[in-house]
Chains A and B, each alone.
Chain A
Amino acid sequence: MIQALLFIASAAGIGTAPGASAVAFVLPSEERVRVLATIPDLAGFVREIGGERVDVDSISRGKEDLHSVTARPSSLVAMSRADMFVEVGLSLEIAFVPGLLHSCRNARVQPGSPGFVSVAQGWTVSKAPAVLSRQAGDVHPQGNPHINLDPRAGLHMATQVYEGLVRVDPGSKALYDARFEGLVLRLKQAQTRWSAMAEDWKGRKVATYHSEYDYLIEAYGLESVGTLESKPGIPPTPKHLSELVANMKSGGCDAILSAQWSNNDTLARVSEAAGVQAVVLPNQCAGMKGADDWVGMMDLIHDRLEQAFAKSAATK
């Protein structure tokens, strides 16, 4: 039995050690490109650009806090067989990616290899800490990693995915080029639509549970009143929450933005105490109806924000 299982492992094309030099793998044209992405957003870009040529799966399912996703056995198996691995990067997935990369022993997807794609590469990050200390909470050394929630980031992420696919499967470049062109057009149209929706959002005041929506806030000039977490990744404390509620009451606040994982009793209590509506938004694709792909998720976020700001304006 063990022999048979070992044979399966060898046949799966398991590579050598992590950290080994980049190795050029040539994919047979009849084989589909096996891709594992950390979040459904990135799996969606792979699917849109790769079409039938790719076989893609995602580790997170759509509702989790991306800082604490638990990898399943199937994630390890998929990672060990993948031709390409796509992550957001900036340590967003530090809870589960390093362990998987280390244990899978697949040289094709190790950092530095052609099959490793970090879509944050080349992105201008926000809030990179000047001083690294846990006194500032669970900060990410390279800056805020939630770039998948930046309405301006779609084209950048899609480009990184496209370039990764061309690297691991250059024989299908013509197919990827054609599909990528269609995606770029769709993204540009969507961005124009969102910019029009957000034209008069500048100066709207929002609080958030966690610093997930900072890029969204920055993109439209919204004003952040604060976060329910006292510092990034640090659970809310009664003192901090009472100060936040006081700030919201005195300075005004249009909405408290939360993801599904943080839609909890604390959020409800703060919302009630401050008299400010809580708006639950997706923090990744696939977790809410309508958020099937990245454009759909951004449409949903913009729709909910538009409704929330309209409701807030009506009550003033």
Chain B
Amino acid sequence: MPSVPSQAKQAGPDSGQADRFSNAFNPAFSFIVDAALDYVDLDSGSDEDGFDLSLRILEVASQAWVDPSAWAYFVGAAEEEGLNIEEAAVHYVGLGSQTTLRAGRFFIDFGKQMQTHVHELRTLERPLALRAYLGDEVKGDGVQYDQWAAVGDKSALRWSLGVFANLLPEEAAYPVADVALEIDERKDLGDLNFTGRVTAFRDVSENGTLQLGASARIIPEYTVLDEVNDLSEAELGNEVFGVDLTYGWIDDTGQRRWTLGVEALANSGDIELSVLDPDGTPANGDESLNVKDETVFGFYGFLDYAWSKYRSAGVQYSRATLSDAAETELSEIELYTTRWLSEYHRLRLVGVWSNDDTADEDSYRVALQYTAIIGSHGHGINW
């Protein structure tokens, strides 16, 4: 009878990793390269016109089960300064029913496009209205509870509630004044930041699926800082609400697809910020911060057609009113065509026309984007 090593005897055959140098339980790893060659033509004749070639994203990700009731992942983005932790979270699924408790740092559950990373979008950038009201991407350190339930045989309803330390965008895509926004590190329970989303999707025919959703992101208290003039205004609040609709149609062979999506957004609260400086000379003591309670609206809509699993094209239109004193109206049209060279890398040709209605200025951007997905990479259901 063959002898069993003493360590194995102690551990037992089902006890998992017994040797700290074993690699049998390694998590899955992947990385993503996203690069673009683009040309920008700004109406204002800025020196930012011209060509650029940039590695937009080098993303490293890893995921694995912790034990039968939890799995964890992290997504890091390589930057000049080092590795920026985009997401690092644990999903606990041991509460029973179709619930998930998620804790760590992760993208907020808002609409259909804020949960995903930029390279996963069907367009080059997130829609203008989302960038204007929420930021290029919004991730936070927090906790989220979500649950889904079947409604009849053809529908699923899901809801989520998230609590975060800070959901201000790291860098405002459209700053309305030369000020900084801050949230106190320590705060009362009611001043934590919140997200909520309710969504339902359903088979509406043999080939069609319809999804409806409503989302909210609430920042109960933040502070505006004008460091130049040494001014600040505290106890300000901001809420963004959105409702979205997505319709998808797939032919019988699964090759041809139409996807139509819209999301309407309202940005509300103490958001109209301006620095009043009667004599135009900064930091001489006559400046004041002007904050108004305001609600502005924006939306985006897209139509995407894939005529095979490797080729698609589409158009996206987005419009948003900024919360500056002039209530600047911005709009953006993006036309794109995507060619998957295989399941693992793609080329995308994009044309973007942006318009500032208030200043009557146009700008154009043409880009060739290349994205490669290397290693284990997959997503669950996009709620």
A residues in contact (CB < 8 Å) with B = 2, 5-6, 8-10, 12, 14-21, 61-65, 68-74, 76-78, 80-81, 98-99, 102-105, 134, 137-138, 233-235, 260-261, 264, 287
Contacts and interface: CB of A to CB of B under 8 A. Distances in A.
21 contacts: A9-B147, A10-B97, A14-B97, A16-B94, A17-B93, A18-B93, A19-B68, A20-B68, A65-B253, A65-B254, A65-B255, A70-B254, A73-B155, A74-B153, A80-B150, A81-B150, A103-B148, A105-B97, A137-B342, A138-B343, A264-B308
Given A62-B252, A64-B254, A99-B380, 16 more contacts: A5-B157, A10-B97, A15-B96, A16-B94, A18-B93, A19-B69, A65-B254, A65-B309, A73-B155, A77-B152, A81-B150, A99-B379, A103-B381, A234-B342, A260-B252, A261-B255
Contact of A63 (B150, B202, B252, B381): B252
A174 B206 CA distance: 36
A81 B8 CA distance: 39
B380 A12 contact: no
Contact of B250 (A18, A70, A264): A70
B98 A73 contact: no
Nearest to B342: A234
A199 B168 CA distance: 72
B159 interface: yes
Interface centre among B94, B150, B154, B250 (most CB of A within 10 A): B150
A73 B209 contact: yes
Contacts of B159: 2
- Output the residue of B94, B149, B310 with the most chain A CB within 10 A: B149
B156 A77 contact: yes
Nearest to A134: B344
By DSSP majority rule, is chain B's interface helix, strand, loop, or mixed? Answer: loop
A188 to B, nearest CB: 33
Q: How large is the interface on B (under 10, 10 to 19, 20 to 34, 35 or more residues)?
A: 35 or more
B89 to A, nearest CB: 15
Interface in B333-350: 340-344
Interface of B: 65, 68-69, 93-94, 96-99, 147-157, 159, 201-203, 206, 209, 250, 252-255, 308-310, 340-344, 378-381
A20 to B, nearest CB: 5
Nearest to A60: B254
A78 B203 CA distance: 12
A239 to B, nearest CB: 14
Contact of B380 (A62, A103, A287): A103
A71 B69 CA distance: 24
Contacts of B206: 61
A50 B122 CA distance: 44
Nearest to B375: A134
Most chain A beta-carbon neighbours within 10 Å: one of B201, B253, B340, B343 = B253
B378 A74 contact: no
